[in-house]
Amino acid sequence: MNKEYFDIFAQAISSLYGIGEARYIARIVREDVFGSSEVLSEKEKILLSEIQEKLLAGQPIQYILGRADFYGLKLSVNESVLIPRQDTESLVHEVILLAKAAQAKEKIKILDIGTGSGCIALALKKELGRVEMTAIDVSIAALNVARQNNQEHGLCVQFEQLDILNEANWRRMPKYDIIVSNPPYIPPSEKVLMPDNVKDNEPELALFVPEEEPMLFYRKIGEFGLGHLAEKGILAFEINEFRATQTVAILKELGYQSVEVKKDLSGADRVIIATKPFPQGAKKAL
């Protein structure tokens, strides 16, 4: 029976991944690659062995299979985009609650900055339906993946290539009711805390910030939001759990109100929600 092969497979990769994660990976491989096969053919045994070798070489299972699960969606992924993670589902969940509360209007506008695979934007569009969803990224390769996912799921998200750090781009952008972002937030000095299969495979552009400017994206997006959030607009970030206090301080310094930190399922500080300041309390965006 198949189960024997997948038990052996899980044991083989457990030296690198731990038995719990190894069994989880084995289940994904069994369901997504081999489906309902009762007995593996010789060709399938070879394929399972190839997947095992790639895993032991440190390649993430999502890149090997070219697919990742996120908020009920199966998304295409490759080395051009970050692998969608459960931590980020906490951000999506919070934004869904906020958007539903704000949907007294006919249609609200949401902007996702640094969209990568499109996972946040696509999940929000799937769950909220009526929203006008725009997503931007500086990477054309990442946008190609996001657009593929958009087409596969038929979710009508508008994807655009744009560098949010270039303030010259801001003038042509409208106002939004919610701005959401999971920006790069890891300084190079924290690489030692990261699993090898992440830092060796996932795109550095989406992971790392300059050592001397670890809060670069939070400050810049915060400044952008001052001029591009509608009245009572909301800013929602995924954050570096080690820099929650710093992120809160930056947003309060810019004048944002009701700044609140939310934890993920593991209890780590993961999401920050803030409300656009009243005009009299806002600092002028550069």
What sign has the CA pseudo-torsion 76, 79, 85, 91?
Answer: negative
Mean of the pLDDT values across residues 43-70? 95
* pLDDT(286) > 50: no
pLDDT of residue 2: 66
Task: List, in sequence order, every residue forming a beta bridge with 271; answer none if it has no partner.
Answer: 238, 262
CA angle (86, 251, 119) in 5-degree steps: 25
Mean of the pLDDT values across residues 24-41? 86
Query: Which of 35-49, 57-71, 78-92, 234-248 shows the lowest mean pLDDT across its residues?
Result: 35-49
At a CB cut-off of 8 Å and minimum separation 6, what does 55 contact? 13, 16, 17, 25, 61, 64
* pLDDT(232) > 80: yes
Query: Which of 45-49, 121-125, 177-181, 278-282 shows the lowest mean pLDDT across its residues?
Result: 278-282
Closest among 133, 140, 135 to 118, alpha carbons compared:
135
- Looking at residue 31, what DSSP letter applies? I
Give percent of the chain with pLDDT exceeding 70: 95
Query: Residue 285: pLDDT band by 50, 70, 90 thresholds?
Result: very low
